[in-house]
Structure 1
Amino acid sequence: MLSVYEGFFSGGARIVHSDVVLGLREGGQHHRVLSIHGEVHREATRQRMEDDACYRALTAADVGVASLGRTFGLGGTDPAAFSGPELADTARATADADVILSLKEQPLALLRQGGLPRRPVVVCLHRSDPENQGRALDDLKAAITDGTVAAAVCCAESTRSAYRAAGVPADLLHVIPNGVDLIRYRPDAPRRLAVRTALDIPLAAPVVVFAARYDGMKNVPLFLAAARAWLAAVPDGHVLMCGAGMTTANPGLAGDIADAFTGAPGLPSRLHLLGVRHDMETVYAASDVVSLTSAWGEAAPLCLIEGMMCGAVPVATEVGDTAAIVAGHGLLTPPDPTAIATAWTEAVMRRDEFAPALAASRERFSRTRMIASYAALIDQVYAGSVDRVRLSEDG
């Protein structure tokens, strides 16, 4: 098996896919990873492949990871044009693969290049807005037409619906919901105490966590407007912001905070900017509410699932599959800061009420279930490719 990534940078899709690779390897499959970019500049953050937590987890498990060495975000490189040496490296990486997994559509521009070994590709789709990703949808359709793509994994029902509506054949689309490691993501009192102690947050104080990269789809200004309203109404409340670009070094975020908290200079002292964290299970365990304010693009947001499994009540705007994920476990809100702040307070008050439902849903969101489904689909695709080769030889 070969997985092809656009690059290693902070985000839920890469976390899920890397965990799938690790899980399939644990099940006996041999996996390697090829990354188009070795360094990514986005969300006001320089992200080197070697510094990424997913990269380190893969290599620690003896999964080989190679890169074409490109740098994303500095301009000057045509994403659809590849040099001779880059194609040679790709050919070597794909030559002994039986099936290739493409993390989202972006690597398909590479995998469709002429002269590369033809291997069945399973493209893994992680958004609900296929027409809002530049040329990616066109590349996907072209890869389906020329036979490169044998199947597509949709991480959510909203993903399948959106791609069907965009013209992708329904028989190629297979829904495998996201899952997480239930041993890692669980309520944990010592973790809760450790994070709160480190941040000087009292153990009884209500805490809301926002885990997202600094991107327009996440609607950070809406979240900050809700944070202002909530912190003003809840004198002992604290808000945590995690993810790429969620630091004071990001001028965009600094400007958003200044705008949101104009006239309330004391409130940001209870707004904690934590940046990229590699111990999100401890951050979620320290929180009472996990919030999502996204406006578009989400499918099955990993932050909600991870937070829920650690005991945080999800409060989210309705986008992608959030309604199905949150149902019975938390609260949906309109994209209104006052409504969101009110929902956070309600979620804190009802945390004990939601706890049994969160505990009962753990198997639904398990990593084991997700990986077994990926393995079954890969076996199906591989068997189909073998049958086609036999038919060709017999013909």
Structure 2
Amino acid sequence: MTQRTPGAGALRILSLYEGFFSGGARQLHTTVVAGLHTGGRQQHSALSIHREVRREATLQRMEDDQRYRTLRAAGVRVASLGRTTDSDDDPRSFTPAEMEVAARHARSAHVVMSLKEQPLRLVNHAGFPERPVVACLHRSDPENSGSALDDLLVAADTGRLAAVVCCAESTRDAYLRAGVPASLLRVIPNGINLARFRPVSGARRLALRGAAGLPVDADVVVYAARYDTMKNPGLFVAAARQYLERDRRGHVVMCGAGMSPANPDLVAELELAFGDRPDLLERVHPLGVRTDMELVYAMADVVALTSLFGEAAPLCLIEGAMCGAVPVTTPVGDSARIVHGIGFVTGFDPAEIAETWIEAAARRDELTPALTAARPRFSHVRMLAGYGAVLERAHRGAGKRLLHV
């Protein structure tokens, strides 16, 4: 696709990030911003509250982050207030110098877009310029977002919010129950770049496995999630123990922040589950954060999700499935809707999950036609059009309000 440079008259959008760190919501939002910016009709920029964040036993710096690099490669300007989570800064307040930087960036934009609710505490500050705000939400449990939900409701009550984009039906339903006006809520399903996330040839698949130290005939389950209670890594490890006992060809690959030997909590979890079977633990591969997930998925038979709560439309299920792995998920958010016809939904029992992984791997070839047929449903092109239209309406709506003042 040919990239176009936004012209001087393009609609200017400022995205607010809490920080740049590993996670599906940031990946999704980055796809939206980069895609709309290179489309030529809108000019996007980004402002991050933090320049580095410590999460899941990992210090993640903005400049090292894949999403930051993707935005910069697309020509999107990215700045930061310079905060770090290791400092003693009060997360609920901002210094005059920080507000001056934030206000300068906001004044240069027509519309402000907030990735999740957390940055809205900056938007609600008295020193933040009046701009229509579009909040982008990616969870189905607003009650677990702490004060961020209050910030969202304040922004709605004060008229700051022009729209709220929900990535899933479960997100819309949850925030409607939490008190967000129905008139603000819009559902735009998640999409991915199908040119990047796609199956590879048989020879390439074998080569990827060889490079990763996996047997060519292994049954490979990939788990892509950060080490977080919401993701329920303990359940995954328990299911992996049973899976590896039952499938002698089975291997498990774990990716994401905190999914590495550098995380003592993960190490303790694995030792507890596999202490009596070190031979099984040899078939567990914790790889940590990866920037080439399309290749990890391409060598997998199954992409697994064991989350307990909070999920809306998990990208790992979509990305893995579009690379040819059969998705197997617990019933959270819109996961069941995503895998309908192409994968499996389980309960929260490790034995059931392990058996379903075995069935999914055995039926991978059978399900390949369905996975191929589902590809248009998950294209990011339709998603970009939806976000672009919401941003345009927010700008037009602000203009109409000014005319009636």
The answer to whether the 8 Å contact 2:38/2:74 transfers is no
Q: Does 1:21 align with 2:33?
A: yes
Match of 2:69 among 56, 63, 72: 56
Answer yes or no: is 1:11 the counterpart of 2:23. Answer: yes
* 1:326-352: CA deviation from partner (whole Å, max 9, x where unpaired): 111111001011000000000011112
RMSD: 0.9
1:359 is aligned to 372
**Which amino acid is the alignment partner of residue 217 of structure 1?**
M
- 1:7-44 CA deviation, whole Å, 9 max, x = no partner? 00000000000010011012211111000000000100
Matched, 1:179 2:200: no
In the TM superposition, residue 191 of structure 1 has moved relative to its aligned partner by 4.5
Deviations 1:67-93 (A, max 9, x none): 000012x36222110001000000110
C-alpha distance in structure 1 between counterparts of 2:39 and 2:389, whole Å: 12
SS of the counterpart of 2:43?
A: coil
* Distance in 1 of aligned mates of 2:104 and 2:199: 44
1:208 alignment partner, SS class: strand
1:281 to 294, 302, 306: 294
Q: Spell out the pairing of 1:72-151 with structure 2 (5 A cutoff).
A: 72=85, 74=86, 76-151=88-163
* 1:312 paired residue number: 325
- TM-score, normalised relative to structure 1: 0.98
Structure 1 spans left out of the alignment, 5+ residues: none
Match of 1:329 in 2: 342
Q: Segments of 4+ in structure 1 off by > 4 A? A: none
In structure 1, how many angstroms separate the alpha carbons of the residues matched to 2:159 and 2:325? Answer: 44
The percentage of counterpart residues that share the same residue type is: 59
CA distance in 2, matches of 1:109, 1:76: 18
Are residues 1:202 and 2:215 paired? Answer: yes
Q: Which whole-Å CA distance do the structure 1 matches of 2:274 and 2:72 have between them?
A: 43
Q: How many residues are matched?
A: 391
User: How far is the alpha carbon of 1:262 from its aligned partner?
Assistant: 2.6
The question of whether the paired residues in 1 share the 8 Å contact of 2:326 and 2:364 is answered with: yes
Contact 2:112 2:134 in 1 (8 A): yes
Whether the 8 Å contact between 1:315 and 1:331 is mirrored in structure 2 is yes
Question: Contact between 2:138 and 2:312, CA under 8 Å: does it hold in 1?
Answer: yes
Give me the whole-angstrom Cα distance separating, in 2, the residues matched to 1:308 and 1:187: 9
Could you list the per-position Cα deviations for residues 198-236 of structure 1 after superposition, in whole angstroms to 9, with x for gaps in the alignment? 122122211000000010011101000110111111111
2:224 to 200, 208, 211: 211
Write the letter of the residue equivalent to 1:168. Answer: V
Query: In structure 1, what is the Cα distance between the partners aligned to 2:331 and 2:369?
Result: 23
Which amino acid letter does the alignment assign opposite residue 371 of structure 2?
Answer: L
> Following the alignment from structure 1 to structure 2, what is the Cα–Cα distance between the partners of residues 380 and 121?
11
Structure 2 stretches of 5 or more lacking a match? 1-12
Deviation at 1:194, TM superposition (A): 3.2
State TM-score, norm by structure 2: 0.95
